[in-house]
Amino acid sequence: MRNDNKDDKNKDTNTKDTRGIQSPKSDLGNWYSEILVKSGFIDYSDVSGCIILRPSSLFAWDVLKNYVDAQFKKLGIEDVYFPLFIPEKYLKKEEEHFSGFKAEVAWVTHGGDSKLDERLAVRPTSETIMYVSYAKWIRSWRDLPLRYNQWNNVVRWEFKHPMPFIRGREFLWNEGHDVFATEAEALAERDKILGIYEKALKEYLALPSIKGQKSDKEKFAGAVASYSLEMIMPDGWAIQGPDFHYDGQNFAKSFDIKFLDKDEEIKFVYQNTYAITTRVLGVMVATHSDEKGLVIPPKIAQVQIVIIPILGRDNEKVLKEAQNIKRDIEKSFRVVIDDREGYTPGYKFNEWELKGVPLRIEIGPRDIASGSVVVVRRDNGKKESIEISRLNDAISRILEEMHNSLFDKALKFLNEHITMVESYDEFKKVLSEKGGFIQAGWCGSVECEDKIKEETGAKITNIPFEHKGLSEHCVYCGRKAKFMPNFARSY
């Protein structure tokens, strides 16, 4: 999948093609692209690496975003909006940060026909433009903590093969940039933010993740320490999700962000940054979906229930009852009726399955006679006959069961793909046969980390906060192990 050379521009984007998905899920790259486009979740644009979020994908993002934003606000984090364009001189202020981003900056050089005096970066991230202002705004301990977050679009001009959501040139995200008077306060924020992200993944996207610290080699450009939630893709490759960076006083010193403390001393501030991006939608789609199309967890599905009247006889009665049911359940759920003429029920079933709508309600003359309807779950095809009078409660229960079962299945897959090894031979064997995360002892040296990457393709995804046990020896050099990281091939 990573070496797939097909150009994303030439994908079939005819969303009316519901003849079904041609690629098996084992052909992950093609299957993934096919279900995303044919379901109408996204489309490609002519700008390589930039995708179009159609209503159902933007809806899912907005639900996730609203949840995360509400949690942020409870912590006192406020939303702001900084300019899209960053003067080159700002970007250069923090050397390590600039060297981490300069290869993939999109540069604006002209306004109309005029060449700009200084070229402007389309923000790849906003530390530099925000911290110039922070240096002006922060004067005293009374101004701290300052906790500002942005929900915006950022651009990173990657040259690797793009993959919708997973790797692209423009994406949507939050970027939180918090400032504290003390290191202790800054560090105390870590678990709160990671906890919000972890819960968002679990409760909304039905995705399990592994919380831990990045190795120094893999940390964010400019951070003291980075932390991440790592997930797994169906091909056994790891993928990084939301992250949190403790920046210490690095940016404070480059940007001169100081304050007069209560003790009348001038001090540099301590900073954190954190982000969740639309990438998680890609992991969600790849994890739960199947060869019929998308499977979307109920809480983020734009349409949660489709009612399909089975027409043929008593049509008027059937349609009326379908309308009644819709009216009854749409107070609590997002519902549509598919009463299009000229399509068979089977055709409609396929189309809504392709789109990933969590529940289908089938209603025909026989159902009306018995006062019940058939409710079908998208993820496992399980059918239940439900009394119409008990429909609201039953739907709540079934949607919850579906969410939990998606999460449990994903958790099982993740757990099956975490393997603890004691030797480098075993490491290589597991990696080539099963993939996934390999927990192994590590001495902490970047040399061993580099060698492992070079020889196997696996990097340290993170050093989990929780792990089963610590090996005695570094899996590569045999010296005493200090850490128990996860290694994996990673997107």
Question: 190 to each of 117, 178, 240, 245, 273, how far by Cα in Å?
Answer: 40, 11, 17, 8, 10
User: Judged by CB under 8 A, which of 23, 152, 405, 445 binds a second copy?
Assistant: 152
User: Judged by CB under 8 A, which of 113, 264, 265, 316 binds a second copy?
Assistant: 113
> With respect to a second copy, which residue has the nearer C-beta, 344 or 404?
344
User: Are the beta carbons of 251 and 127 closer than 8 angstroms?
Assistant: yes
User: Judged by CB under 8 A, which of 35, 60, 63, 122 binds a second copy?
Assistant: 122
What angle do helix axes 190-205 and 55-74 make, rounded to 10 degrees? 150
With binding defined as CB under 8 A, does residue 17 bind a second copy?
A: no
The whole-angstrom separation of Cα 138 and Cα 144 is: 8
User: Judged by CB under 8 A, which of 30, 45, 71, 315 binds a second copy?
Assistant: 45
> With respect to a second copy, which residue has the nearer C-beta, 150 or 289?
150
With binding defined as CB under 8 A, does residue 261 bind a second copy?
A: no
Q: Which of 295, 128, 357 is nearest to 222 (CA)?
A: 128
- What would you report as the CA-atom Rg of the chain, rounded to the nearest whole angstrom? 25
The token pair that represents 116 in the structure block: 């700009």
By three-state DSSP, how is residue 56 classified?
helix
User: Judged by CB under 8 A, which of 60, 105, 311, 488 binds a second copy?
Assistant: 105
The token pair that represents 248 in the structure block: 């210490």
The whole-angstrom separation of Cα 342 and Cα 356 is: 22
> With respect to a second copy, which residue has the nearer C-beta, 4 or 79?
79
The whole-angstrom separation of Cα 442 and Cα 481 is: 5
With binding defined as CB under 8 A, does residue 159 bind a second copy?
A: yes
Instruction: Mark the segment that binds a second copy (CB under 8 A) among 39-47, 251-259, 279-287, 379-387.
Output: 39-47
Provide, rounded to whole angstroms, the least separation between the CB of residue 332 and a second copy: 17
With binding defined as CB under 8 A, does residue 15 bind a second copy?
A: yes
> With respect to a second copy, which residue has the nearer C-beta, 351 or 449?
351
Provide, rounded to whole angstroms, the least separation between the CB of residue 122 and a second copy: 7
> With respect to a second copy, which residue has the nearer C-beta, 128 or 240?
128
With binding defined as CB under 8 A, does residue 72 bind a second copy?
A: no
Beta strands at 114-122 and 85-87: parallel, antiparallel or unpaired: antiparallel
Question: 155 to each of 79, 124, 216, 452, 465, how far by Cα in Å?
Answer: 20, 5, 25, 31, 31
Residues 6+ apart with CB under 8 A from 313: 365
User: Judged by CB under 8 A, which of 7, 70, 74, 78 binds a second copy?
Assistant: 78
Instruction: Mark the segment that binds a second copy (CB under 8 A) among 153-161, 230-238, 257-265, 435-443.
Output: 153-161
> With respect to a second copy, which residue has the nearer C-beta, 128 or 215?
128
> With respect to a second copy, which residue has the nearer C-beta, 155 or 223?
155
The residues in 332-391 that bind a second copy, with binding defined as CB under 8 A, are 340
Q: Quick one: DSSP state of residue 5?
A: -
User: Judged by CB under 8 A, which of 4, 62, 216, 256 binds a second copy?
Assistant: 62
User: Are the beta carbons of 226 and 250 closer than 8 angstroms?
Assistant: no
Residue carrying structure tokens 């031979």: 425
Provide, rounded to whole angstroms, the least separation between the CB of residue 35 and a second copy: 17
Beta strands at 238-248 and 170-180: parallel, antiparallel or unpaired: unpaired
Provide, rounded to whole angstroms, the least separation between the CB of residue 84 and a second copy: 5
The whole-angstrom separation of Cα 339 and Cα 324 is: 14
Q: Which residues bind a second copy (CB under 8 A)?
A: 13-16, 43, 45-47, 50-55, 58-59, 62, 78-87, 90, 102-114, 119-120, 122, 129, 132-133, 136-137, 139, 142, 148, 152-153, 155, 157, 159, 169-170, 172, 340
